[in-house]
Structure 1
Amino acid sequence: MRDAPLMLCAGEALTDIIDQGEERWVSRVGGSVWNVARALAVLGEPTAFAGAISRDRFGDALWQASEAVGLDTRLLQRVERSPLLAIVEKCEPPRYFFIGDDSADLHFDPAAFPAGWADGLRWAHFGGISLAREPLASTLVALAQRLKEQGVTISYDPNYRNLMEEGYEPTLRRMAALADVIKVSDDDLRGLFPRVELDVALERVRAFNPAGYCLFTRGGQGASLFHGAQRADARAPKVAVVDTVGAGDASVAGLLHSLARHPGRPLQSHLHAALAAGSAACLQAGATPPQPAAMHQLFEQLEGEGT
Structure 2
Amino acid sequence: MKTEWPQLVALGEALTDLIDDGDGRWLERCGGAPWNVARIMAQWGVGSAFAGAVSRDCFGERIVAASRDAGLDLRFLQQYDKSPLLAMVYGTQPPRYFFVGDDSADLYFDPALLPQGWPQHAQWALFGGISLARPPLAARLLQVAQQLKRQGVRLCYDPNFRVLMDERYDPMLRTMVGLADVIKVSDEDLHGLFRHHDVAAALATLQQWQPQALIMLTRGATGAELWQGGTCLARCVPPSLRVVDTVGAGDASMAGLLYSLITRPQATAQQHLRQAVASGSAACLLAGANVPALAAVTALLD
TM-score range, shorter chain: over 0.9
Give distance in 1, aligned partners of 2:295 and 2:244: 17
Aligned to 2:270: 268
Give distance in 2, aligned partners of 1:216 and 1:51: 27
Instruction: Pick from 263, 279, 291 the counterpart of residue 277 of structure 1.
Output: 279
The answer to whether the 8 Å contact 2:88/2:97 transfers is yes
Give distance in 1, aligned partners of 2:279 and 2:115: 32
Aligned to 2:291: 289
CA deviation profile, 1:256-297 (whole Å, cap 9, x unmatched): 110111111111011001001111111111111121001111
Helix, strand or coil for the counterpart of 2:254? helix
Aligned to 1:54: 55
Classify 1:114/1:195 alpha carbon distance in 2 versus 1 (closer, same or farther; 3 Å).
Answer: closer
1:65 Cα deviation (Å)? 0.7
Aligned to 2:23: 22
Aligned to 1:236: 238
Report whether the alignment pairs 1:186 with 2:187.
yes
The answer to whether the 8 Å contact 2:7/2:48 transfers is yes
1:241 Cα deviation (Å)? 1.4
Helix, strand or coil for the counterpart of 2:28? strand
| Structure 1 letter corresponding to 2:121 | G
Deviates more, 1:18-27 or 1:135-144: 18-27
CA deviation profile, 1:118-166 (whole Å, cap 9, x unmatched): 3321000000000000011111111011011111000000000001013
Give distance in 1, aligned partners of 2:115 and 2:125: 17
Compute the RMSD of aligned alpha carbons: 1.1
1:5 Cα deviation (Å)? 1.0
The total of aligned residue pairs comes to: 300
Report whether the alignment pairs 1:250 with 2:273.
no
Give distance in 2, aligned partners of 1:140 and 1:166: 19
Aligned to 2:35: 34
The answer to whether the 8 Å contact 1:183/1:252 transfers is yes
Aligned to 2:146: 145
Give distance in 2, aligned partners of 1:195 and 1:65: 38
Aligned to 1:92: 93
Give distance in 1, aligned partners of 2:254 and 2:197: 25
The answer to whether the 8 Å contact 1:240/1:283 transfers is yes
1:247 Cα deviation (Å)? 0.4
Aligned to 2:209: 208
Helix, strand or coil for the counterpart of 1:21? coil
Aligned to 1:8: 9
1:230 Cα deviation (Å)? 4.7
1:196 Cα deviation (Å)? 4.3
CA deviation profile, 1:194-236 (whole Å, cap 9, x unmatched): 2241110111112211111000001111000113335211101
| Structure 2 letter corresponding to 1:237 | P
1:116 Cα deviation (Å)? 2.2
Of all paired residues, the percent bearing the same amino acid is 54
CA deviation profile, 1:64-120 (whole Å, cap 9, x unmatched): 111111111111000010000000010110000000010000000010112222332
Aligned to 1:171: 172
Higher RCO, 1 vs 2 (CA within 8 Å, ≥6 residues apart) = 1
| Structure 1 letter corresponding to 2:6 | P
Helix, strand or coil for the counterpart of 1:51? strand
Report whether the alignment pairs 1:109 with 2:98.
no
Aligned to 1:82: 83
Give distance in 1, aligned partners of 2:101 and 2:58: 16
Which 5+ residue runs of structure 1 have no aligned equivalent?
301-307
1:55 Cα deviation (Å)? 0.1
Give distance in 2, aligned partners of 1:97 and 1:47: 29
Give distance in 1, aligned partners of 2:232 and 2:26: 46
| Structure 2 letter corresponding to 1:98 | F
The answer to whether the 8 Å contact 2:207/2:228 transfers is no
Report whether the alignment pairs 1:44 with 2:45.
yes
1:39 Cα deviation (Å)? 1.0
Give distance in 2, aligned partners of 1:289 and 1:147: 28
Deviates more, 1:203-212 or 1:123-132: 203-212
Aligned to 1:303: none
Which TM-score applies when normalising by structure 1? 0.95
